[in-house]
C-alpha cells in the first residue's frame, strides 16, 4: 500500500517521501522502514508529534492506503496571540473593513 511521509525540518523546508509499505503497517514501522529515526534522531524526541492527514496519531496507529503521515514540530507562538499582538501594533483605524474611507463619507461607511 502507498503512503506519503512528510517532515518539516526547518521553516519553509518540507521533506516528502512516497513509500510502499505492507498492509497492516503502523505509523512507526513506516518511519523505520524509511530510515528516518536514524537519519533524523530528533523524531524520537517527545517535542515532535506525529499525525495522519493533520489529525494527531500515535506511533501504533494502523495506516491505510493513501495516508499522509506528518512529523510536526511544536508551534513557537500561539497564532491567536500573534494576531492579537499584530492588531495592537497596527491600530484599529489602519486595518480591517474601515481602513479606507471614501472622501466625504460618514465614519464606518
Residue 62: count other Cβ atoms within 10 Å of its Cβ: 13
Tell me how far apart the alpha carbons of residues 52 and 48 are, in angstroms, rounded to a whole number. 14
**Distance separating alpha carbons of residues 98 and 9, to the nearest angstrom:** 40
Report the distance separating Cα 22 and Cα 26, nearest Å. Answer: 9
Average confidence score pLDDT of the chain = 83
Evaluate if residue 17 carries a pLDDT over 80: yes
pLDDT at 92 over 90: no
Taking 80 as the threshold, does the pLDDT of residue 95 lie above it?
A: no
Opening angle at CA 37, ends 33 and 38, nearest 5: 95
Q: Read off the pLDDT of residues 47-91 as tens digits, 9 standing for 90 and up.
A: 788 899 989 998 899 999 999 999 988 777 888 888 888 777 665
Listed in order, strand segments (DSSP E) in the chain are 2-10, 13-20, 49-52, 55-56, 68-72
Name the region of 24 (left: φ>0; alpha: ψ -120 to 50; beta: rest).
Answer: left
pTM above 0.75, yes or no: no
Angle at 64 between CA 60 and CA 65, to 5 degrees: 150
Share of the chain above pLDDT 70, in %: 83
CATH number of 2-72: 3.10.20.30
Amino acid at each position: 500500500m502507498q503512503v506519503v511521509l512528510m517532515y518539516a525540518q526547518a521553516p519553509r523546508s518540507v521533506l516528502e517521501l512516497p513509500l510502499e509499505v505492507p498492509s497492516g503497517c503502523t505509523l512507526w514501522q513506516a518511519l523505520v522502514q524509511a530510515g528516518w529515526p536514524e537519519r533524523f534522531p530528533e523524531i524520537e524526541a517527545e517535542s515532535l508529534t506525529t499525525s495522519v492527514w493533520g489529525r494527531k496519531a500515535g506511533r501504533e496507529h494502523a495506516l491505510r492506503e493513501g495516508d499522509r503521515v506528518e512529523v510536526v514540530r511544536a508551534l513557537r507562538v500561539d497564532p491567536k496571540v500573534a494576531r492579537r499582538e499584530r492588531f495592537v501594533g497596527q491600530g484599529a483605524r489602519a486595518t480591517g473593513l474601515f481602513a479606507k474611507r471614501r472622501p466625504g463619507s460618514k465614519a464606518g461607511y
